[in-house]
Amino acid sequence: MPGLDEKLHDIYDEVVRRNAGEAEFHQAAREVLTSLGPVVAKHPEYADAAVIRRLCEPERQIIFRVPWVDDAGTVQVNRGFRVEFNSALGPYKGGLRFHPSVYLGIIKFLGFEQIFKNALTGLPIGGGKGGSDFDPKGRSDGEIMRFCQSFMTELYRHIGEHTDVPAGDIGVGGREIGFLFGQYKRITNRYESGVLTGKGLAWGGSQVRTEATGYGTVFFVEEILKTRDDSFDGKQVVVSGSGNVAIYAIEKVQQLGGTVIACSDSGGYVVDEKGVDLDLLKDLKEVRRGRISEYVEARGDSARYVEGGSVWDVPCDIALPCATQNELNGTDAATLVRNGCGIVAEGANMPCTPEAVQLMAEAGVAFAPGKAANAGGVATSALEMQQNASRDSWAFDHTEQRLAAIMRGIHDRCVETADEYGSPGDYLAGANIAGFVQVADAMLALGVI
Ligand code: NDP
The DSSP code for 202 is G
CA 293 to chain centre: 25
The pLDDT of residue 380: 98
Strand partners, 240: 321
DSSP string of 321-363? E-S-TT-B-HHHHHHHHHTT--EEE-SSSS-B-HHHHHHHHHH
Nearest CA to 351 out of 333, 364, 339, 338 is that of: 333
Q: Which atom of ligand 1 is nearest to the CA of 378?
A: 42
Q: Which residue's CA is minimally distant from atom 36 of ligand 1?
A: 348
Cα 37 to ligand 1 centre (Å): 32
The pLDDT of residue 1: 45
The pLDDT of residue 48: 87
Residue 199 falls in the annotated catalytic set: no
- Phi/psi at 160 (nearest 5 deg)? 165, 160
Q: Distance between CA 284 and CA 267 in Å, rounded?
A: 14
With beta carbons less than 8 A apart as the criterion, state whether 299 and 280 touch: yes
Q: Which residues, at least 6 apart from 207, have a Cβ–Cβ distance to it below 8 Å? A: 201, 393, 394, 395, 396, 399, 400
Q: Distance between CA 76 and CA 142 in Å, rounded?
A: 14
Q: Which residue's CA is minimally distant from atom 37 of ligand 1?
A: 169
With beta carbons less than 8 A apart as the criterion, state whether 15 and 29 touch: yes
Q: Distance between CA 88 and CA 267 in Å, rounded?
A: 40
- Phi/psi at 374 (nearest 5 deg)? -105, 20
DSSP string of 160-176? BTTTEEEE-BTTB-HHH
User: What stretches of 283-329 show up as alpha helix (H) in DSSP?
Assistant: 293-299
User: Which amino acid is present at 331?
Assistant: T
Q: Which residue's CA is minimally distant from atom 19 of ligand 1?
A: 266
With beta carbons less than 8 A apart as the criterion, state whether 335 and 313 touch: yes
Binding site per annotation, positions: 93, 114, 117, 168, 213, 244, 381
The residue annotated as part of the active site, out of 108, 129, 199, 285, is 129
With beta carbons less than 8 A apart as the criterion, state whether 417 and 222 touch: no
- Strand stretches in 32-151, DSSP E: 60-69, 75-86, 92-98, 126-132
Domains annotated on the chain, with CATH: 1-54+427-449 (1.10.285.10), 60-192 (3.40.50.10860), 212-364 (3.40.50.720)
Instruction: Starting at the earlier edge strand, list the strands of the sheet with 259-265.
Output: 303-307, 268-272, 259-265, 236-240, 318-321, 343-345, 366-368
With beta carbons less than 8 A apart as the criterion, state whether 432 and 420 touch: no
- Ligand 1-lining residues (CB < 6 angstroms): 168-171, 213, 241-246, 265-267, 322-324, 327, 347-349, 374, 377
List per-residue pLDDT tens for the chain, 449 residues long: 456 888 899 999 999 999 999 999 999 999 999 999 999 999 999 988 899 999 999 999 999 999 999 999 999 999 999 999 999 999 999 999 999 999 999 999 999 999 999 999 999 999 999 999 999 999 999 999 999 999 999 999 999 999 999 999 999 999 999 999 999 999 999 999 999 999 999 999 999 999 999 999 999 999 999 999 999 999 999 999 999 999 999 999 999 999 999 999 999 999 999 999 999 999 999 999 999 999 999 898 789 999 999 999 999 999 999 999 999 999 999 999 999 999 999 999 999 999 999 999 999 999 999 999 999 999 999 999 999 999 999 999 999 999 999 999 999 999 999 999 999 999 999 999 999 999 999 999 999 99
Q: Distance between CA 201 and CA 179 in Å, rounded?
A: 15
DSSP string of 207-265? TTHHHHHHHHHHHHHHHHHHHTT--STT-EEEEE--SHHHHHHHHHHHHTT-EEEEEEE
The pLDDT of residue 2: 55
CA 255 to chain centre: 22
Q: Distance between CA 370 and CA 206 in Å, rounded?
A: 22
b/e sequence 388-424, b meaning 16+ C-beta within 10 Å = beeeeebeeeebbebbbebbebbbebbbebbeebebe
Cα 429 to ligand 1 centre (Å): 25
Q: Which residue's CA is minimally distant from atom 3 of ligand 1?
A: 243
Nearest CA to 136 out of 123, 122, 117, 151 is that of: 151
